[in-house]
Amino acid sequence: MSKPTVGFIGLGIMGKPMSGHLLKAGYPLVVHDRNRSPVKELVTEGAQEAHSCKEVAEHSDVIISMVPDSPDVEAVALGPDGLIEGLREGQIYIDMSTIAPGVAITVAEDLGKKGVRCLDAPVSGGEVGAINATLSIMVGGDEAVFNEVMPIFETLGQTITLCGPNGAGQTVKACNQIQVALNFVGMAEALVLGAKAGVDPAIIVKVLSGGYAQTRVMDVRGPRVIRGDFQPGFKSKFHYKDLNIIMKTSNDYNVPLPATAVAHELFNAMIAAGRGDLDHSGIITILEDLAGVQARTQE
């Protein structure tokens, strides 16, 4: 049985390696991005170029988008020259961006009127997970559609979970981003306190990594943080965007998130300081500024 043609919209830090995995797995691929460079590169590897989201829809069976924010998904799916203008009944649209749950539901409802089946499938794992095809994928939508595209998900990630109906994937991703943000803030506060008290940050990371305080955040980013390496796997400005979504969602459901609110303001300070392009582990630099200490061994 031949594989469905996959259309991929958004070839940034995550989308480009994800597209590459699909090509290598033998999926006919149609790609579109406003940035021509990754499009050209994927075309040389065998992909077909589309010049609009509408054109992607016209030449694909399954469409995937990986774009920055809710307005971008709305433009891709529902805007002028968007998917809605080229879609046909029976197609599948998978949005793998991180957006507001309410927007995911609206897009699914609007495209559903054209007979298009939709899944929201945000991911966790950052650039490394995208490159290594080890992403965690959180999916909202119909179980039959989920099962139908499972081979595509398995090409992109390892932990793939149906979380509930449309919007549920985005809700679980919001929960994920709460935990990750607080882990980064907790690690930063621990390192800054220890450094101010005169303890080598490398010792702190070593000890905390061997006990109950151990997290994947510390395992992956701790050694880089103490070297002052904030080359982004996931940029702070994008985590701030996610925290904006979380705070709006918490307001929609009347759920107080006091610790998340503090993390939100710390990431806001990252943006104000012009550090939005640093990795989200760079939140430590804000705590260092506040404490008047550098919790790193070198720049």
Catalytic choice (16, 173, 235, 241): 173
Measured distance CA(34)–CA(10) in Å, rounded = 8
Q: What are phi and psi of 60, to 5 degrees?
A: -130, 160
Rounded distance, CA 281 to CA 141, Å?
32
Judge whether 293 and 262 are in contact, CB under 8 Å: no
Rounded Cα gap, residues 247 and 260, in angstroms: 8
Q: Which phi and psi (to 5°) does residue 135 adopt? A: -65, 150
Q: Which residues contact 253 (CB under 8 A, 6 or more apart)?
A: none
Supply 53's token pair.
């989201």
Active site (annotated) includes residue 173: yes
What are φ and ψ of residue 115, in 5° steps?
80, 20
Burial of 212 (0-12, 13-18, 19+ CB in 10 A): exposed
**Which DSSP symbol is given to 5?**
P
Closest to 165 measured CA to CA, from 101, 242, 88, 110: 101
Q: Token digits for 107?
A: 């897009």
Instruction: Indicate left, alpha or beta for 90 from its phi (over 0: left) and psi (-120 to 50: alpha).
Output: left
Over the Cα atoms of the chain, what is R_g? 20
What residue type is 210 in one-letter code? G
Q: In the block, which residue shows the tokens 């197609």? A: 91
* Residues with a known catalytic role: 173
